Amino acid sequence: MPITPKVRYENHHLVVVVGHRNFFQDPWSSARHEQRLAVLDSAIEEIKRHVDDVWSVRKEFDRIEECPLCGRGWELDNEGLPSCCVEAIAEFKKEAEVVTV
Ligand SMILES: [Zn+2]
């Protein structure tokens, strides 16, 4: 199986566009991604039901990729190799050898 980055989702928040600026903090920092999405969906429904003059309500969050071996951010260099740690590079090259054999 080829090496792939671990993925996590962060910074879940609502963007509520109403007639004035709105401040929103993320109180669910320890919740799982699906739980966060469910909370956002619930809040969206509540906003639609109770708030007048709502132009749009949408969910936004950051998608973070990290190396499954060292936990650092996942990036590939110019040669298409992971740039975070030697273990990921070795694993990547090992998998490439298996594919070409
Ligand atoms: Zn790594």
Instruction: For residue 20, give both structure tokens.
Output: 């004035």
pLDDT band (50, 70, 90) for residue 85: very high
Instruction: Assess if residue 1 is contained within a domain.
Output: no
Q: Separation of 20 CA from ligand 1 center, angstroms?
A: 44
Q: Per-residue pLDDT tens for 28-52? A: 445 577 777 887 888 888 888 998 8
Instruction: Assess if residue 2 is contained within a domain.
Output: no
Q: Separation of 5 CA from ligand 1 center, angstroms?
A: 9
Instruction: Assess if residue 60 is contained within a domain.
Output: yes
Do 61 and 13 reside in the same domain of the chain?
Answer: yes
Contact by Cβ (8 Å): 61, 11? yes
Q: What is the pTM of this model?
A: 0.56
Report the domain count for the chain.
Answer: 2
Instruction: Assess if residue 73 is contained within a domain.
Output: yes
Q: Separation of 4 CA from ligand 1 center, angstroms?
A: 11
Contact by Cβ (8 Å): 54, 48? yes
- pLDDT above 50 for 80: yes
Q: Separation of 28 CA from ligand 1 center, angstroms?
A: 28
Do 71 and 82 reside in the same domain of the chain?
Answer: yes
Do 79 and 51 reside in the same domain of the chain?
Answer: no
Q: Cα–Cα distance between 16 and 5 in angstroms, integer?
A: 32
Query: Domain of 29?
Result: 7-65
